[in-house]
Chain A
């Protein structure tokens, strides 16, 4: 049983989280241990298993990004199992250049460091645009599910991973604790 099945919903990427939550609460009551206290051990164990699966399903599917990663995995396109050939050279070039620029600003003098805040804004804008793109692609996938669309979505997820990393890096650099360490 997968996460969509335990929640009794179709494999979709655009989900109404309020609806999902209602469904989760309703099923949680159904599989609640109290209701199985007097039942045979096998039945009790099964309810416990379902309850655990339900919790995992809710935690994963309520988040749009985790939902995408999960669906990709179900459809045999696990982001963790990619090889280099799955990552287009243009993306690697772009990410390499962004990392280079970040490193130069980080290692540089005060002027160069002054660019860090601007870089953070730029990375955040990129991330925002990617999230909008993912939302759009999710809707397109739901309207016409298929492997090519999922491949496209995985490509955008890859780019998002890289940009997210850059955001983390630049924020680490801008954090006051990093700069004001007493000598």
Chain B
């Protein structure tokens, strides 16, 4: 599989690898996976409760280069966005940015799912409802 330069860049120099305190009320954690490829992806956001802006994002992904690159890019996209803006991120943006081939599109879907799961977790902690997070298809 020939990876695009952008995938290789994120794969070799992943941004924002790490984890944050799961029990922090301002941190939302999303854990998603694709069993048939053995991928598992953890993505976390830290939200400023005053402004609703995502101040930090971390990820840790076990999987192929495209899955790592997709989640790395996702954390970059998240920083500085509001929670609602983050929910509007579509996997197609990741596909375009990384020039993912059709067989790797599911990696970007996984990253989108991870974003939604992390925001959903954060909103659950703050008591707000997010039907969008589980209703994505």
Contacts and interface: CB of A to CB of B under 8 A. Distances in A.
Contacts of B137: 83
9 smallest A-B Cβ distances: which pairs?
A165-B38, A158-B35, A99-B62, A84-B32, A161-B35, A84-B113, A92-B31, A92-B33, A95-B40
Interface in A49-98: 79-80, 82-85, 87, 89, 91-93, 95-96
Contacts, number: 55
A161 B134 contact: no
Given A84-B117, A96-B62, A79 B42 contact: no
B36 interface: yes
A161 B40 CA distance: 12
Contacts of B33: 84, 87, 91-92, 95, 162
Given A85-B134, A162-B35, A96 B117 contact: no
Given A84-B110, A96-B31, A79 B36 contact: yes
A93 B36 contact: no
B38 A161 contact: yes
Given A83-B113, A83-B136, 5 more contacts: A82-B34, A92-B31, A99-B40, A100-B60, A161-B36
A129 B46 CA distance: 39
Interface of A: 79-80, 82-85, 87, 89, 91-93, 95-96, 99-100, 103, 157-159, 161-162, 164-166
Interface string B115-137: 00100000000000000001011
Contacts of B117: 84
A156 to B, nearest CB: 11
Given A84-B117, A162-B40, A79 B35 contact: yes
A162 B34 CA distance: 9
A103 B40 CA distance: 13
7 contacts: A82-B35, A83-B113, A87-B34, A95-B40, A96-B40, A157-B35, A165-B37
B31 to A, nearest CB: 5
Contacts of A164: 38
B42 A96 contact: yes
A157 B42 CA distance: 21
